[in-house]
Amino acid sequence: MIDTLLGWYGREARDLPWRRTRDPWAILVSEVMLQQTQAARVVPYYERFLQRFPDPVACAAAPAGDVLRVWSGLGYNRRALALHRAAAAIAAEGWPDDLEALAGVGPYTAAAVASFAFGARVLAVDTNVRRVLARTGLRPEVPRPGLNQALMELGATVCTARAPRCGVCPLEAECDGPEEPAPRTGGRPRFEDTDRYVRGRVVAALAAGEPLPDVESGRLRRALEGLERDGLVERDGTHVRLPGQPVR
């Protein structure tokens, strides 16, 4: 089964920029950006971020507000602050033996960086990989080179959570197929109606030097309070700015 999967990956793998490097900083940036975000959306942000911050020293030396400005638009802005803190730790002390000691790095990200950058023989299990393993029954104890990438690619492009493309899956013959999805109950609010939407618009406006978004005052107040609490903005009276940036 593993040989079949690796052969498929060799033919079908998408050409993504972080797959062309073993630089641990570049791989860490990609893995943090890919959390809860699709690869196609990440590519331009990844390339722009590394052009501005090609190594941990450059990132650590920049104000947090500059990091947020380059990140702005990708979403989940707290990831940018965590990456900035991780860069500071790496710049000061080098790469730790335990990658989970870095800000924003959990078990999956640590395993991915260890595997892709440092050649560790560990299995990096994200949501896509977990789904493939559950459906196929594959249990690799010591992953072979390329297996992590192949599992991720299969889960992201073929063995998807909804509407999996079983007819083109290289493991279809060995797979019992996906379980029937549980019926969806209740409605979800529109993204535009969430506080997260307002938070993102505030950070984007500050990054672009534009006025704060014109939204209902209660929502804006809630967003500003949360952003300040998370260290994503600083307030001085009525003035709001990104961390380390001049007062507007």
Q: Is 144 helix (H, G, I), strand (E, B) or coil?
A: coil
Is 179 considered catalytic here? Answer: no
Q: Which of 53, 25, 11 is nearest to 154 (CA)?
A: 11
Give the integer Cα–Cα distance in Å for 163 and 189. Answer: 23
114-126 burial, b at 16+ Cβ within 10 Å, e below that, comes to bbbbeebebbbbb
Question: 3-state SS string over 53-99?
Answer: CCCHHHHHHCCHHHHHHHHCCCCCCHHHHHHHHHHHHHHHHCCCCCH
Give the integer Cα–Cα distance in Å for 231 and 233. Answer: 6
Which is catalytic among the residues 12, 31, 100, 180?
A: 31
Q: Which residues are catalytic?
A: 31
